[in-house]
Structure 1
Amino acid sequence: MTSVFYSEEEVIAAVARLDRTRLSRFLRAEVIAPAETEGRAVYRQVDVARMELLCDLCDDFELNDDALGLVMHLVDQLHGTRNDLRALMQALGDEPAEVKSRVQGRLAR
């Protein structure tokens, strides 16, 4: 799988409510962490989605930089927990029926 990278200009064009000032704010607040290739910052598709969310938070809730950092930290934790739960469910799916039944019984308590 190949990664697609966006330059600063491309990411500003891709995110409707993003401008250079707002991008600088997100970078200073450390809620966006671009990759680096050939000595320049580049952005991935996940960064684009994150900036869209950040713009929503700024515009709809008028969050300051500290609040943005806190909200994004919680979003990151939620995504990590979701991935852990998905892996646990996959591992449980590979277990014999007896183990699945025992786990379901414990969860029902």
Structure 2
Amino acid sequence: MTMSKEQFLESSGLKVQVLELWIEQEWLIPERTPSGIRFKEIDIARARLIRELQSEIGANDAGIDVILHLMDQLHGMRQAFAQLRREMRGSP
């Protein structure tokens, strides 16, 4: 399910200025459609993570950049390994 910017703001509890900054910093990367930007449930989870990193851990912007980059790399590696496992199961 995707949601509009307004729906995302309501669900995430973010202010418009914060959302725009996070998009500019590429911490959140919404889908761009002819009718505007669209967000997914994973974007809400990522926004919550960013807020936790800021408020509970005290991470600054540079730290959040590093953490999100490493998490994205890990996610990509997990997808690659899953694909490799599927391919290996399919071959004799």
- After TM superposition, give the deviation of residue 67 of structure 1 in Å: 1.6
2:75 aligned with 1:79? yes
2:63 aligned with 1:67? yes
Give structure 2 stretches of 5+ with no counterpart.
none
2:41 aligned with 1:37? no
More strand by share: 2
- After TM superposition, give the deviation of residue 44 of structure 1 in Å: 2.0
2:2 aligned with 1:5? yes
Partner of 1:57: 53
Q: Give aligned pairs, total.
A: 92
Cα RMSD (Å): 1.9
Percent of aligned pairs sharing the same letter: 26
Structure with higher Rg: it is: 1
Native 8 Å contact 1:11 1:48 kept in 2: yes
CA distance in 2, matches of 1:67, 1:8: 26
Partner of 2:22: 26
SS of 1:43's equivalent in the other structure is strand
Where in structure 1 do 4 or more consecutive aligned residues deviate above 4 Å? none
SS of 2:76's equivalent in the other structure is helix
Partner of 2:90: 94
Give structure 1 stretches of 5+ with no counterpart.
97-109
